[in-house]
Structure 1
Amino acid sequence: MKKKFITLGLVIIFSGYIFSQNINILPKLDSLNIFLKENIQDTDPGAAILIKQDGKTVYENYRGMANRQKGEKLTPNTTMGIASMSKQFEGMAVLILVNQGKLRLDDYIDTYLKDLPIDDRKITIKQLLTHVSGMPEITQNENFMNSLDKPRSIDEILAIALNGPMRHEVGGKYMYCNTGYTIVVKLIEQITGQSYHDFLAENILNPLDMKNTYSCDINNNAIDIASRYRQDSTGFHDAVKVHFSNLIGGGGIISNVRDMSIWADALLSGKNLPTNYKEMWQTAILNNGEDTHYGLGMGISNI
């Protein structure tokens, strides 16, 4: 019998979740410890790793530094940007609204956002969340990428992103697109009358007791998180400074591995999630019938 394997992705360097009940991870933990000691020195940017099996934590380790300049070590309390894992929370937020009867995944986005400059092309909410919309990609805008330290509202981000041409016909290709997630955040805020930050807290994070997790926006930037670094042949250097409002939707959530393990448990059990939560795993099908293997904010494959 095939099992669904949900890839939650990267937290800083690596954090892993083992979901299959038939994998015995325990004999491999010594090798993992050796690997970490050989590859992450005490003064290197750190790695936070947590492995769960059958609902129990079987491995947890923190190596290296959260902030090299201040000499702060990575600990269980260290929070960090979770990058594109943020998309999973947006997918669930949309399913909550579907469950409440406030929208449908196959609704066209211009049904709600009538002033959005997207020509006359009909694009559904699901197509935006599954990277098949053909929308221009915000991270390909050089001016935007060179000014990530500037706080921006959703409308300011979209004014930049939607200034470019469509990349392909709607539903014609799978092309990773953060712009779609920014658009859907705007949709969520318009339908609910709440900020995305507050909607996530009220409907997902607080019910799951994820106390160290929050979404950033122009009024709520990341606070006291692990520093970001880049590496070249001369060593580690500070990465480009980022105001996390620029990453809203597609990458603007802050968390830590223990909170993310709570999220992993919720995805597997459905506890404190809407009854339709499994729709997260329904992948997009292209116009030619090809499966994209991508659901609402996460890659999906069979093992």
Structure 2
Amino acid sequence: MVEALPQLSARLRQEADVSRFMGGVLVARDGEVVFRQVYGLADADTGKPLTLSSRFRLASLSKQFTAAAILRLQDEGRLSVDDPVCRWIQPCPVAWTPVRIHHLISHTSGIPDLMQRPDWGERRTTPATMAELTADSAAFGLTFEPGSELRYNNAGFNLAADIIERASGMPFGDYLKTAFFELLGMADTGLGDSPDLVAGHANFASGLTPQRQANVSIIPGAGAMYSTLDDMLVWSRALHGGHVLPTDSYAAMIADHAPPDQSAERGRVRRIWGYGVMANRLGRRVIPGFDDFQVYHTGSWSGFRNLMSWQPGGQVTVVVLTNNYHQQDQVFLITQQAMAEALGRPFPIGLSAN
């Protein structure tokens, strides 16, 4: 437990005391942990509290690991992001001929996402293998020419995970373990389920309710990982510190792969869409605002809501992992309060209207 950010500490304690926040927060600056604390329950049914070593589902924070694995395999000469998807996926729909691996991990493939499909309700609750997910996707054509538009896409990252298996000759989770987790000492990070994961929750009229049917088998490359505050700090330091990818591959990961004419979203400044990460000046969305550039990603799935952000100028990592799906605004504001205080900016008190 570290609480060297007094404004953040006071705010989180106040929110936790009235049950408006449950989860864990870690902040590191210049290699030093300046905040590390958890609040609330690991499981509302049992009353078990969260601990500093609690394992949370990462949801879409997982996408950066999938993207990094593709880039690692490229560095090893086993594939290229410019490879046609049909080189790796067989049989391959004719419609997919122009789709490249690059499109899969930049949300620009045109392949319909899982949630856009007519059978989403059934697939959401039905366990699936990687082969079944790939076959599901192959049943669809494209909704736009690859590279011409950008639409957030979990299916593309699932296909990328399948390609990782084919290129590496290993199950996806085993490749991640061998290439990243074992080398970095991330012993509490993995793919799929683990018996000691905390329960996800949602706020219903009847109260705080555990959400136990995660079915992450349908999002292997898009959101199926779990981890801890400490392991995610290890990952952030390694990824942004040059210990996961060489300079050119890391530059490709955080570059903007959105179409040049991609419009602003909801009136906000358009974000940069990298491979499995995004970037923007998130502090402009809080009051008082601040302008520091941040590389980040969010995550939400089956009772979990997360955000991790990296600020390169101040060498600040903020990790917020929560096991309550209905904390979207809280998670965003807490992340920016932590970032602002760590950077010495005025402490935000709320979200802006834009």
Scaled by the length of structure 2, the TM-score of the pair is 0.71
**For structure 1, which segment, 175-184 or 41-50, has the greater mean C-alpha deviation from structure 2 after superposition?**
41-50
Q: CA deviation at 1:151?
A: 2.5
Distance 1:151 1:285, change over 3 A: closer
Matching residue's letter, 2:275: L
> What is the Cα deviation at residue 170 of structure 1?
1.2
Residues 215, 254 of structure 1: 8 Å contact kept: yes
Question: Which position in structure 1 is the counterpart of 2:203?
Answer: 231
* 1:178 counterpart = 2:154: yes
The alpha-carbon deviation at position 142 of structure 1 amounts to 5.6
Measure, in 1, the Cα distance between the counterparts of 2:202 and 2:250.
37
**SS of the residue 1:191 aligns to:** helix
Match of residue 214 from structure 2: 242
Q: What does residue 226 of structure 2 align with?
A: 254
CA distance in 2, matches of 1:42, 1:201: 39
Alpha-carbon contact 2:85-2:96 (below 8 Å) kept: no
Q: Which has the higher strand share?
A: 2
Match of 1:295 among 274, 294, 298: 274
| Secondary structure of the structure 2 residue equivalent to 1:131 | coil
The more displaced of 134-143 and 60-69 is 134-143
Does residue 138 of structure 1 match 2:114? yes
Q: CA 1:148/1:35 → structure 2, altered by over 3 Å: closer, same or farther?
A: same
- Structure 1 equivalent of residue 9 of structure 2: 33
Counting only pairs closer than 5 Å after superposition, residues 109-148 of structure 1 correspond to structure 2 as 109-117=85-93, 119-141=95-117, 143-148=119-124
Q: Which amino acid aligns with 2:230?
A: R
| Distance in 2 of aligned mates of 1:66 and 1:203 | 30
Partner of 2:255: 282
Partner of 1:15: none
Deviates more, 1:110-119 or 1:45-54: 110-119
Aligned letter for 2:254?
A: W
Distance 1:233 1:33, change over 3 A: farther
Query: Helix, strand or coil for the counterpart of 1:66?
Result: strand
What letter is aligned with 2:235? W
The match for 2:297 is none
Once the two structures are overlaid, the 10-residue window that deviates more, 161-170 or 206-215, is: 161-170
Deviation at residue 117 of structure 1 after TM alignment = 2.8
Moved more, 109-118 or 241-250: 109-118
Residue aligned with 1:199, SS: helix
The structure-2 alpha-carbon separation of the partners of 1:141 and 1:246, relative to structure 1 and needing over 3 Å to count, comes to same
* Identical counterparts, % of pairs: 25
Give the gaps of 5 or more residues in structure 2.
Answer: 264-269, 282-292, 294-354
1:18 counterpart residue number: none
Tell me the secondary structure at the aligned position of residue 272 of structure 2.
coil
In the other structure, the counterpart of 1:101 is 77
Once the two structures are TM-superposed, the CA of residue 145 in structure 1 deviates from its matched residue by 3.8
Residue in structure 2 matching 1:206, options 162, 172, 182:
182
1:93/1:118 CA distance change after superposition, 3 Å: farther
Residue identity in the other structure for 1:154? M
My pick for the range that moved more, 264-273 or 126-135, is 264-273
Q: Is 1:269 equivalent to 2:241 in the alignment?
A: yes
Distance 1:195 1:223 in 2: 20
Deviations 1:268-298 (A, max 9, x none): 2112544533321122142758886111100
User: Which range moves more in the overlay, 146-155 or 287-296?
Assistant: 287-296
- Return the alpha-carbon distance in structure 1 between the equivalents of residues 202 and 118 of structure 2: 19
TM-aligned CA deviation for residue 168 of structure 1: 1.9
Distance 2:25 2:261 in 1: 40
**Could you tell me how far apart the structure 1 residues matched to 2:236 and 2:87 are?**
33
User: How does 1:20-59 map onto structure 2 within 5 Å?
Assistant: 29-41=5-17, 46-59=22-35
Determine the structure 2 residue equivalent to 1:84: 60
Query: Aligned letter for 1:300?
Result: A
Deviating more after overlay: 202-211 vs 108-117: 108-117
Change (3 A) 1:148 1:44: farther
Cα RMSD over matched residues?
Answer: 2.5
Name structure 1 gaps, 5 residues minimum: 1-24
